Amino acid sequence: MSWAVTEAASITVNLFDHDLRHMARFAVPLDDPQMNVRANGQLVAAGDKHQIVVLDHNGAVQWRSDWHRLGAAAGVDFDLDGDHILWVRLAGTKELVAIHATTGKEIHRTPLPGPEAAWFVHRPVDTWTGLALLHPDPSPAMLIGLDAEHIVLRPLVGHDLAGFSPAGHRYLTMALDGFLSVRDVTTDIVIAERHLEDLPNTPPGLACWRYLDRAVFLTDELILIAVSTADLPDDAEEHLLLSACSLRCRSQMRYPHPHRSGSIYPAQQPSRWLTRHHEEDLLRLWQLDGRLDDEPLPGQIALL
């Protein structure tokens, strides 16, 4: 997978590799800079309120389509997986559509009732992709995939789907009011489930943090979460490292640079994550020290 980053003032996409090295920059033939973009190792899918276009990594257009041709009245949620399948959630018709990303040919569509907003979650080990629908709480979540060119849906349980472990055997769910759980993908059995108020070994100074903004697996044993409190400004938060087996607090992250609310993003490689400084539009890639395991480790986590 590659990272695709848009520019606020132009209809332009920048591509980066896993080491955050700049690979390409090209204009996208859309009308609105407020576009959604997804990328894999060979293709980029970009969509605004009116249409979607798929390009290769040199910026050459492979195909494009107005949303209404797929049955959508306006911009929709979509994802591009590693097998070149473009997944599209049509809120108006309550359908999920699978499309060959290289040709634009529709493979299959299936009814998918529920709320309008949706988001997709990458699963690193196979062709299954996570999908969650926003509201009601807890959000309906599922694994989606293809079997003989037919869409297969497998429900997941818990709160909002946040991510999968690097090995793909566990999934992480979270709720804004502070509940966090780790479950087995095959059985949905709870491995660990806690509220922020009940995380063992949390530093005393963090007792007031009540809201869970984001959570990501870093390794099969470690989870990074962003927490905040309504008593502080919107850009105030802390990042905590937790054990994926017990949700015990391992450490409070202390960065050499400032960060802002909602800044954690999965990097799709074990031990790595991204932060974005919203005021500076600065993207940083972080990595845990390779010596880290799931034993108690006091103080600051070493960063490379």
pLDDT digits (tens, 9 = 90+) for 95-108: 999 999 999 999 99
Residues 180-191: tens digit of each pLDDT: 999 999 999 999
**Least-confidence region, from 123-132, 163-172, 236-245, 253-262:** 253-262
Give residue 113's pLDDT band: very low, low, confident or very high (50, 70, 90).
confident
Tracing tokens 């390794």 back to the chain, one arrives at 219
| Residue type at 204 in one-letter notation | P
CA distances to 12, 28, 116, 162, 247 from 216, rounded to whole Å, are 28, 30, 24, 7, 13
Q: Is the pLDDT of residue 75 over 80?
A: no
Local structure of residue 204 (DSSP, 8 states): G
Q: Is residue 294 left, alpha or beta, with left meaning phi > 0 and alpha meaning psi from -120 to 50? A: alpha
Long-range contacts for 4-12 (Cβ within 8 Å, ≥24 apart)? 4/37, 4/38, 4/39, 4/44, 4/46, 5/37, 5/283, 6/33, 6/35, 6/37, 7/33, 8/33, 8/281, 9/33, 11/35
Inter-residue contact 77 to 45 (CB < 8 Å): no
Per-residue confidence (pLDDT) for residue 304, from 0 to 100:
33
| Residue type at 120 in one-letter notation | F
Per-residue confidence (pLDDT) for residue 303, from 0 to 100:
39
What average pLDDT is seen over the chain? 85
Give residue 236's pLDDT band: very low, low, confident or very high (50, 70, 90).
low
**β pairing state of 51-56 and 77-80:** unpaired
Q: Is this structure's pTM higher than 0.85?
A: yes
Q: What angle do CA 163, 125, 63 make, to 5 degrees?
A: 85
Beta strands in 91-197 (DSSP E): 95-100, 106-111, 118-122, 129-133, 141-147, 150-156, 160-164, 170-174, 179-184, 190-195
**β pairing state of 10-16 and 3-7:** antiparallel
Per-residue confidence (pLDDT) for residue 287, from 0 to 100:
87
Give residue 302's pLDDT band: very low, low, confident or very high (50, 70, 90).
very low
Residues 269-286: tens digit of each pLDDT: 888 998 876 666 778 888
| Mean per-residue pLDDT, 149-157 | 95
Sheet holding 22-27, edge to edge: 3-7, 10-16, 22-27
SS3 assignment, position 152: strand
Local structure of residue 300 (DSSP, 8 states): P
The candidate with the shortest Cα–Cα distance to 276, out of 20, 76, 11, 87, is 20
| Mean per-residue pLDDT, 35-64 | 95
Long-range contacts for 62-68 (Cβ within 8 Å, ≥24 apart)? 62/101, 62/102, 62/103, 62/104, 63/103, 63/104, 64/29, 64/104, 65/104
d(CA 284, CA 281): 10
